[in-house]
Structure 1
Amino acid sequence: MDELDEVLPPEVTATLTEQLAGWADGAVTLAPRIGVALVLLGLTALVAWMAGQVLTRLGRRTRLRRNLVDVLRLVSNTAIWLTGLLIAVTVVFPTITPGRALTTLGLGSVAIGFAFKDTFENFLAGILILLREPFRIDDTIECEGAEGRVEAITIRDTHIRQTDGQLVVVPNAQLFHNPVTVRTDQQFRRASIICGVAYGEDVDEARAVIEKAVRAVDLVRDDVRDIQVFAHAFGASSIDFEVTWWTGSLPVDIRASRDQVVAAVKRALDEAGIEIPFPYRTLTVNAPVPIRSVDGQG
């Protein structure tokens, strides 16, 4: 203090000494409260860990999806830590009541909510998707041009693996606000093709030949629902038939069954002598065309 007296005026030295003494007294007064607050935070961490373990075991027993269990653990941990922090703050600073702390927290949450609106929207949409479960892992879905197999559903986005191998990460809000087609919601799905026969052929005979050919295909599940062959329209050069059948709901099932059906129908119509028309082109030249012999004379 003698050195401070030589450098600083006595009034400044006295003020600084009083402040340091006040801080020391405040630290001594707050020390027990800080100790209690640290103990409360330790208990909060223990309670949060125990709650997570309980939710994990309940999820295994009830066979809940892992993503849903993770969301429940996140929500429970957030609620427990928020409660523990509020209690610890009120212990250290008795003038701060839980009501005031909640009011301050509410105002801060509103500001944060406006700043991270899209993030919170995706978060809430992810929770609702996991709870309602409109589609599951390994389902094939289509939404806004993104189509493929669902690999993961997180609280922010959904990972869709397209049939060409590319990964599409779709925000959950997009899946929540837009129509989603779940192509594998059922075990079987209907597929269809359009097949035309020439106008000179017998319609009833062609229908019978097509139906018999489709029924003989291995991937066609006529035990689920019957095959349907309907005369569909008058085409430019053919009577068009709409051929529908049921097969597996995976994209590869649709493609494979369509391949076999097209091949079987083509083969059956050829064997029955029924023409599948194709465009004929006739070239007409109005101007005289000079003709020369091979040797270039005439």
Structure 2
Amino acid sequence: MQATTSESAEATVDPVATLQGQLVDMGEQLIRALPGLVIGLVILFVTWLVAKFAVRIVDKMTGRTEMRPSLRNLLETIVRLAIWIFGLMVAAIVVMPGLTPASLIAGLGIGAVAIGFAFQDIFENFLAGVLIMIREKMRIGDVIECEGIVGKVEHITLRETHVRKLSGEVTLVPNSMLFKNPVEILTDDPMRRHEVVAGVSYDTDLDHAADVIRKAVEGVEGVEVDKGIDVFAQEFNASSVDFNVRWWAGSTPRNMWESKDKVVRAIKRALDDAGIEIPFPYVTHTFKERVPLGEKPGELA
């Protein structure tokens, strides 16, 4: 008799009424949570305003100093990130009253581990970007060379560095690449040593030729004579004795090409005026038998 009663009770359950009751409960919970959601949105809006004004204040304070632009960007990013983290935590606690700061921090820790494994490359570039901004070398405006990429550093973010190549294109280089690999900073110093090879014929007085070349380079505009000019007899080449000529001039790629152009022109002009030959490559052919000269092909024996 009891089993029959139980079965009849289950049969009388109305699924529509049950669903309606659940929807009503959800609506009541949403209405109760609505003030917290509104306050949370207000907190996020205030966080956005505070972060905006805080970044402006940091920008004004650092703008009066000689701080590097990359380091200024790092400070602004840290201030903005710290304010947003704090604002999001406060908004989450207001929306979900049962959430405590301790449980929120614990959850963030577990989530950070999971996110760290999932986005390892992103966080690697992020950390590399922070370290690049902190270190003194490689500033915005420097011309660098790394892994075959040569160009001018235009912008450094927390994930990538914008390098304007000498041909005009922009290359977005991951920060981890610039941090792990050797980076050659071509414009770290305003001056840079350049070199070119100049050859003279074997019958030339090498001391006289070296003196002529040195005086020619000294007269070139833009060459730092005070830093010294080197003219070294380098090697016996196939048709000439080669001098390695080294001098100091501007460090940018444009300075290098302009300086080399002027130096090569000056050396050529000075050697011509001194009557010193810059030889062409000579080729000597050796034949097994005598080659008749001045005879017609039909007259050959």
TM-score range, shorter chain: 0.7 to 0.9
Corresponding pairs, count:
288
Alignment-derived partner of residue 207 in structure 2: 204
Alignment-derived partner of residue 4 in structure 1: none
Looking at structure 2, the residues matched to 283 and 78 of structure 1 have their Cα atoms a distance apart, in angstroms, of 76
Letter in 1 for 2:106: T
Looking at structure 1, the residues matched to 299 and 206 of structure 2 have their Cα atoms a distance apart, in angstroms, of 55
> Residue 61 of structure 1 is aligned with which of 42, 50, 64?
64
Note if contact 2:145-2:185 (Cα within 8 Å) is conserved in structure 1. yes
- CA apart distance, 1:21: 5.4
Looking at structure 2, the residues matched to 146 and 198 of structure 1 have their Cα atoms a distance apart, in angstroms, of 39
Q: Deviations over 1:179-233 (max 9, x none)?
A: 111111111111111222233322221211111111111232213x021212223
Looking at structure 1, the residues matched to 285 and 40 of structure 2 have their Cα atoms a distance apart, in angstroms, of 95
Looking at structure 1, the residues matched to 186 and 167 of structure 2 have their Cα atoms a distance apart, in angstroms, of 17
Looking at structure 1, the residues matched to 23 and 222 of structure 2 have their Cα atoms a distance apart, in angstroms, of 87
Q: Deviations over 1:36-90 (max 9, x none)?
A: 4444334333332332222222232235555544443333222222222222322
Note if contact 1:210-1:265 (Cα within 8 Å) is conserved in structure 2. yes
SS at match of 2:64: helix
> Residue 88 of structure 1 is aligned with which of 71, 87, 91?
91
Alignment-derived partner of residue 175 in structure 1: 178
Note if contact 1:147-1:162 (Cα within 8 Å) is conserved in structure 2. yes
Identity fraction in percent: 47
Looking at structure 2, the residues matched to 142 and 257 of structure 1 have their Cα atoms a distance apart, in angstroms, of 20
> Residue 138 of structure 1 is aligned with which of 135, 138, 141?
141
Looking at structure 1, the residues matched to 236 and 296 of structure 2 have their Cα atoms a distance apart, in angstroms, of 45
> Residue 244 of structure 1 is aligned with which of 232, 243, 246?
246
How is 1:195-234 mapped onto 2 (pairs within 5 angstroms)? 195-223=198-226, 225-234=227-236
Note if contact 2:69-2:140 (Cα within 8 Å) is conserved in structure 1. no
Note if contact 1:189-1:246 (Cα within 8 Å) is conserved in structure 2. yes
How is 1:177-192 mapped onto 2 (pairs within 5 angstroms)? 177-192=180-195
Looking at structure 2, the residues matched to 273 and 11 of structure 1 have their Cα atoms a distance apart, in angstroms, of 115
> Residue 47 of structure 1 is aligned with which of 46, 50, 55?
50
- Distance 1:54-1:192 versus aligned 2 partners, 3 A rule: same
How is 1:28-39 mapped onto 2 (pairs within 5 angstroms)? 29-39=32-42
Note if contact 1:192-1:242 (Cα within 8 Å) is conserved in structure 2. yes
- Distance 1:159-1:92 versus aligned 2 partners, 3 A rule: closer
- Distance 1:279-1:41 versus aligned 2 partners, 3 A rule: closer
Alignment-derived partner of residue 102 in structure 1: 105
Which has the larger displacement, 137-146 or 276-285? 276-285
SS at match of 1:158: strand
Alignment-derived partner of residue 292 in structure 1: 296
TM-score relative to the length of structure 1: 0.83
- Distance 1:17-1:9 versus aligned 2 partners, 3 A rule: farther
SS at match of 1:149: strand
Letter in 1 for 2:249: T
Q: Deviations over 1:138-179 (max 9, x none)?
A: 221111111122222222222222222333222111111111
SS at match of 1:74: helix
Looking at structure 2, the residues matched to 79 and 203 of structure 1 have their Cα atoms a distance apart, in angstroms, of 69
Looking at structure 2, the residues matched to 22 and 187 of structure 1 have their Cα atoms a distance apart, in angstroms, of 73
- Distance 1:195-1:54 versus aligned 2 partners, 3 A rule: same
Note if contact 1:217-1:261 (Cα within 8 Å) is conserved in structure 2. yes
Note if contact 2:229-2:246 (Cα within 8 Å) is conserved in structure 1. yes
Looking at structure 2, the residues matched to 266 and 24 of structure 1 have their Cα atoms a distance apart, in angstroms, of 91
> Residue 150 of structure 2 is aligned with which of 147, 150, 172?
147
Note if contact 1:59-1:65 (Cα within 8 Å) is conserved in structure 2. no
User: What are structure 2's unaligned runs of at least 5 residues?
Assistant: 1-10
- Distance 1:17-1:292 versus aligned 2 partners, 3 A rule: closer
- Distance 1:77-1:217 versus aligned 2 partners, 3 A rule: closer
SS at match of 1:51: helix
SS at match of 2:99: coil
SS at match of 2:272: helix
Given the alignment of the two structures, is residue 263 of structure 1 paired with residue 265 of structure 2, yes or no? yes
SS at match of 1:107: helix
- Distance 1:83-1:209 versus aligned 2 partners, 3 A rule: same
Note if contact 2:125-2:176 (Cα within 8 Å) is conserved in structure 1. yes
SS at match of 1:152: strand
